[in-house]
Structure 1
Amino acid sequence: MADEEQGLAEGQRRHWQETYAAHPGMYGERPSAPALHAAGVFRAAGARDVLELGAGHGRDALYFAREGFAVRAADFSPTGLGQLRTAADAQGVAARVTTLVHDMREPLPLPDDSVDAVFAHMLLCMVLSTEEIHAAVSEIRRVLRPGGSLVYTVRHTGDAHYGAGTAHGDDIYEHGGFAVHFFDRALVDDLAGEWTLDEVHAFEEGDLPRRLWRVTQRLPR
């Protein structure tokens, strides 16, 4: 990773740590709409365990656990994961939740073919280069069992913040302290090259509103 990219990545890590510390449970306790969709997809596929990447303080990971899935919740913020563990204890689902401090620029510390399903809400559109995004999806493919499902969401180039704020190249723009890699449809299709792409669903979230795609794809059996 180039020095400039490394500096941006470390700055984002600090920013998220500070944000979670200043605003505990900042996204609330209700699961996101993409998590509701993903739970149905995973259940229909017979999944028993879910890996959530970019779990933050855990609103979606805890929802999956309440729905009966065994959950591995990964994030690069120890502060967010600490809040997740506290909430898991309070909700009585701690036995079904494990946490993992992990940066998606690094290989996943999991064996091949070891999880049934993966969920990532806005993780892949964080400050990752196109090369790093491809590497991350390759890692997801590696740890998923045959027939496994991936549901992810990303902000796309139709979003109001695309092209605004500080440009870092590679369709990455920083606005309000948060850096986002905005996806075009070609990138979505490239990432699905060795998968079955079931759906690319456009939706909006938040007050701006943010404009996103919810992507559902699966591996062959």
Structure 2
Amino acid sequence: MRDQERPAEGSAADTQRTHWQTTYTAHPRMYGTEPSEAARHAAADFRAAGARTVLELGAGHGRDALFLAREGFTVHAVDFSAAALGQLTAAARESGLADRITTTVHDVRDPLPLPEASVDAVFAHMLLCMALSTQEIRAAVDEIGRVLRPGGLLVYTVRHTGDAHYRAGISHGDNIYEHGGFAVHFFDADLIHCLAKGWRMHGVQAFEEGELPRRLWRVTQARR
């Protein structure tokens, strides 16, 4: 189906929260143990900037959080799936990294559970392009800016409007399309520029991931 509109049935993000919780429970460590390409790039950027503490948003079962901890960073991982974070906590213990990783169940639509200017860097791989409205995405980036120290780096990745699934499946409006049970907010260039206002933009790189492949942007920007 393409561009099929359906009546409002509550928040798409609320529905997705339940969907992800069920998925992580049914498929432990569903993304494997190897870190994402985005995490590898982020680690290099964070190290060059002298970062020590990293907040990962949408950490899932922790393949990237574990990688960042192995790279020497102290990581605070948040996700709205308790099942996923349980898997991350167990893996951290098994890997001897429990002293470098803390976790919090958290919905990115809510204020971050951290003090102002308390972390050196923030990493979010495909978290901001979940079933969030543009307004919710802007609020989330404002919160990221609040908890970052001056000069701190934000590295985030998002699927964009050049992706094969853009405009495919069920439309929820606001460039959000649901395909195979997963809803994605596809970013255009205007949204990237909007989210960079008040920040120092370091760059936007296009890359691909997965078998489709997914088409994404990796955005790096610094808090002023």
2:70 to 50, 60, 66: 66
* Of 166, 186, 190, the match for 1:186: 190
Partner AA of 1:8 in structure 2: A
Task: Return the alpha-carbon distance in structure 2 between the equivalents of residues 8 and 87 of structure 1.
Answer: 30
Between Structure 1 and Structure 2, how many residues are aligned?
218
Match of 2:166 in 1: 162
Partner in structure 1 of residue 149 of structure 2: 145
TM-score, normalised to structure 1, is 0.97
1:197 aligned onto 2:207: no
CA distance in 2, matches of 1:126, 1:42: 24
* Runs (5+) with no aligned partner, structure 2: 1-6
Separation in 1 of the partners of 2:144 and 2:151?
13
Q: Which of 22, 38, 43 is equivalent to 2:42?
A: 38
Please identify runs of 4+ aligned residues in structure 1 that moved more than 6 A. none
TM-score (norm 2): 0.95
Matched, 1:134 2:138: yes
Secondary structure of the 2:139 match is helix
Q: Which amino acid in the other structure matches residue 27 of structure 1? A: Y
- Deviation per CA, 1:38-66, whole angstroms, max 9, x where unpaired? 00110111101000000000000000101
SS in structure 2 opposite 1:71?
strand
SS at match of 1:98: strand
By relative contact order (CA 8 Å, sep 6+), the higher-ranking structure is 2
The root-mean-square deviation of aligned C-alpha atoms, in Å, is: 1.1
Which structure shows the higher helix fraction?
A: 1
Tell me the equivalent position of 2:221: 217
Aligned partners of 1:83, 1:219: CA distance in 2, in Å? 32
After superposition, give the CA deviation of every residue in 1:136-175 in whole Å (9 maximum; x if it has no partner). 0000000000000000000000000000000000000000
CA 128–44 in structure 1, closer or farther in 2 if over 3 Å, else same: same
In the aligned structure 2, how far is the partner of 1:137 from the partner of 1:161?
24
**What is the distance in 1 between the residues matched to 2:202 and 2:152?**
13
Which of 31, 53, 56 matches 2:60? 56
**Structure 1 unpaired stretches of 5+:** none
2:125 to 109, 121, 124: 121
Structure 1 residue 5 displacement after superposition: 7.2
